[in-house]
A and B are shown apart, each in its own frame.
Chain A
Amino acid sequence: MLLLLLIPAVLMTVAFTALVPQENTLQPISRDFMVALADSFARFEWSPTRPENLTASCEQEQPYGSDWELNETVVGLPYDWGGMDDPDVFLRKLGEGQAAGSHSWHGSTTCTTGMDCSGYVGYIWGVRDPAQKKSTRSIYDIAVKPSYAATGDWFQHLKPGDALNKPGSHVVLFAGYRPDGNPIVYEANGSAGRVIKNDWSTWARYNGYEPLEYGGVIQN
């Protein structure tokens, strides 16, 4: 009799576990670690030392033009549309003759290296497998609404390591408030062609963006 009750209960638990995403499957990451990692990508120094680093050899939708010059010192991991290569992978691919960075008009490329905006925030939030790379539409897989979301009080309760996301467009990592109330963010910025620390934009730039919190954040 006991078995008859237990077996359905176990089966239901297994089925429920398989169907419902488990928050504890996300890697726990502290806010300090997120900001330190984000900052290291914005400070990352590199140079295109080979002519191949400035010319993409694979098929592109539009002719490739590099944002850089040969042997120029650049600070910030290059922006690569659809990419999620961390600095180690980037340097390896650069050494193999791949081009530094790309933009959306090039389409998906196999011979360029760097990170795009959602690849960057996803990486900071623990995504390492390129096959699992998030977009601004799928980043919700690993995000939750911040605890203050019910009050909508983003102008004073965002925490370092949270993100501001606009699906289909752009996502940035929040790092703190400036004294004048505006945000400091880290982002893989297509205009700049690289990962930057943006401490000049005002809140109006983020009209239409939604604050998000990493689902596995260690609240410190």
Chain B
Amino acid sequence: MNWRRFRTVLQLVLPSVMAAGCLARYETPVMPSLTMDDVIELPTRLVRTGGAAVTAGENELVLLDAGEEELPQGPQGFDVLEDGSFVVADPLRERLAFYDSTGVYLASCDLGLAPQSVTRIGSQFEIRDLHTGGWYRARLLEGEEGSECIVEEAPPETVGVRAAEEAGEAELVRDTVNFGTIDWTRGARADRQPLEVSYRSDTTRMVSLQGVGPVTGVNRGFGDELMVVAIEAASPTETIRVRKEIQVYDETNRLVALVLDVPADYFIAPVTEFRIHGPKLYQLYTQRDGIRINVWSLDDDE
């Protein structure tokens, strides 16, 4: 076989092989697989003792190293504010800490309770107390002498409303394999058809399904409002090993993009793992050497 014929064969065979590989996993071979755009490192201090003995710089979030027979402790929740800055629940120092969009410390406010999660509700923050399970609302007051949080019990009827609207109601359909649904119609999206989620893999199975929420203003031509879904998948093993994947659906519930490089080897497992702001997806990701916010842009930057 001369070179020209070999090259012709390659040109014919290679695309077919690649397309077959894509089809084996997803129906659409041109599915964009988005890669992580940015990693924002937040100032972090790893300590070995908790309680009153915790000392760290004002700008630092605190991680408590794991002892024998005990899990490490530290932030489990965060949110993205209107201007793209972050608020992080810092339970070991019983405060909310604020950082700009690049991770530079801005301010903090004492809560007098250990926040497990924080969710922005307008100009307030919904907080869950780790030690009692109680729900609170906090208002940030910024004065000349620093920031202060005014904390009061949350009205029960308001608790979890935003989280429920964004997550919808996800259900893994048990008598099928790798199939689930998410129903957002009980929230503000009553006219939207429940989303049917299929996970295609020869080697792993979908073990959980979560709605992350809507994302608007993406410039890829996918439509006005996309819905973001998180999937966990695993192979049958004696020890649990789970990987994570993000799927993005358009308004007609068509799968339009994937995020496959989602880390799931946490030092501290998050309670609120994903947030959406503008065309970006954010993940709170804590490792022993620091707290990071991973960012994926759904926009086409080119």
B30 located at the interface, meaning its Cβ lies under 8 Å from any Cβ of chain A in the complex? no
Q: Is the CB of A105 within 8 A of B50?
A: yes
Hey, which chain A residues are within 8 Å of B91, CB to CB?
191
How distant is the Cα of A23 from the Cα of B177 in the complex, in angstroms? 36
Min CB–CB distance B174 → chain A (angstroms): 7
Q: Tell me which of B12-20, B147-155, B218-226, B263-271 binds A.
A: B263-271
- The dominant DSSP class at the A interface is loop
B189 located at the interface, meaning its Cβ lies under 8 Å from any Cβ of chain A in the complex? no
Hey, which chain A residues are within 8 Å of B51, CB to CB?
62-66, 103, 105
Given A155-B205, A180-B170, A192 contacting B68 (CB threshold 8 A): no
Hey, which chain B residues are within 8 Å of A105, CB to CB?
48-51, 53, 64, 67
Which residues 234-270 of B sit at the A interface, judged by CB distance below 8 A? 234-242, 244, 264-266, 269
Min CB–CB distance A119 → chain B (angstroms): 10
Q: Is the CB of B53 within 8 A of A63?
A: yes
How distant is the Cα of A202 from the Cα of B245 in the complex, in angstroms? 13
Q: Is the CB of B242 within 8 A of A203?
A: yes
In the complex, per-residue mask of A197-220: 1 if CB is within 8 Å of any chain B CB, else 0: 000111111111111000000000
Hey, which chain A residues are within 8 Å of B180, CB to CB?
180-181
How distant is the Cα of A64 from the Cα of B47 in the complex, in angstroms? 16
A152 located at the interface, meaning its Cβ lies under 8 Å from any Cβ of chain B in the complex? yes
Q: Tell me which of B36-44, B125-133, B136-144 binds A.
A: B125-133
Q: Is the CB of A204 within 8 A of B172?
A: no
Q: Is the CB of B71 within 8 A of A191?
A: yes
Q: Is the CB of A192 within 8 A of B130?
A: yes
Given A116-B69, A203-B242, A65 contacting B50 (CB threshold 8 A): yes
In the complex, per-residue mask of B46-79: 1 if CB is within 8 Å of any chain A CB, else 0: 0011111100000000001011111101001000
> Which of A62, A64, A191, A206 has most B Cβ within 10 Å?
A191
How distant is the Cα of A170 from the Cα of B49 in the complex, in angstroms? 18
Q: Is the CB of B208 within 8 A of A202?
A: yes
B100 located at the interface, meaning its Cβ lies under 8 Å from any Cβ of chain A in the complex? no
Q: Tell me which of A14-22, A29-37, A67-75, A85-93 binds B.
A: A67-75
> Which residue of chain B has its CB nearest to the CB of A65?
B51
> Which residue of chain B has its CB nearest to the CB of A154?
B240
Q: Is the CB of B264 within 8 A of A207?
A: yes
B210 located at the interface, meaning its Cβ lies under 8 Å from any Cβ of chain A in the complex? yes
Min CB–CB distance B72 → chain A (angstroms): 9
How distant is the Cα of A82 from the Cα of B68 in the complex, in angstroms? 10
B110 located at the interface, meaning its Cβ lies under 8 Å from any Cβ of chain A in the complex? no
Q: Is the CB of B48 within 8 A of A136?
A: no
Number of A-B contacts defined by CB within 8 Å:
153
A152, A153, A190, A207: which contacts B242 (Cβ < 8 A)? Answer: A207
Which residues 119-149 of A sit at the B interface, judged by CB distance below 8 A? 135-136, 145, 149
Which residues 183-198 of A sit at the B interface, judged by CB distance below 8 A? 189-194, 196
Q: Is the CB of A204 within 8 A of B69?
A: no
A65, A200, A205: which contacts B52 (Cβ < 8 A)? Answer: A65
Q: Is the CB of B132 within 8 A of A75?
A: yes
Question: How many interface residues does chain B have, given as a range?
Answer: 35 or more
Min CB–CB distance B291 → chain A (angstroms): 15
Hey, which chain A residues are within 8 Å of B70, CB to CB?
81, 103-104, 116-117, 169-170, 190
Q: Is the CB of A181 within 8 A of B69?
A: no
A180, A191, A204: which contacts B244 (Cβ < 8 A)? Answer: A204
How distant is the Cα of A63 from the Cα of B50 in the complex, in angstroms? 9
Hey, which chain A residues are within 8 Å of B196, CB to CB?
none
Given A156-B174, A200-B271, A203-B208, A169 contacting B69 (CB threshold 8 A): yes
Given A103-B70, A136-B69, A203 contacting B240 (CB threshold 8 A): yes
Q: Is the CB of B50 within 8 A of A169?
A: no
> Which residue of chain B has its CB nearest to the CB of A149?
B238
A182 located at the interface, meaning its Cβ lies under 8 Å from any Cβ of chain B in the complex? yes
Hey, which chain B residues are within 8 Å of A206, CB to CB?
240, 242
Given A191-B71, A191-B91, A207 contacting B265 (CB threshold 8 A): yes
Q: Is the CB of A203 within 8 A of B232?
A: yes
A168 located at the interface, meaning its Cβ lies under 8 Å from any Cβ of chain B in the complex? yes
Given A104-B67, A105-B49, A209-B240, A181 contacting B206 (CB threshold 8 A): yes
A-B complex: 5 closest residue pairs judged by Cβ atoms: A65-B51, A104-B67, A152-B236, A205-B269, A181-B172
By a beta-carbon cutoff of 8 Å, the part of chain B in contact with chain A is 48-53, 64, 66-71, 73, 76, 91, 114, 116, 130-133, 169-172, 174, 180, 205-210, 232, 234-242, 244, 264-266, 269, 271, 273
A-B contact pairs, 12 of them (CB 8 A): A66-B51, A105-B67, A116-B70, A152-B238, A169-B66, A169-B70, A182-B210, A202-B210, A203-B240, A204-B264, A207-B240, A211-B238
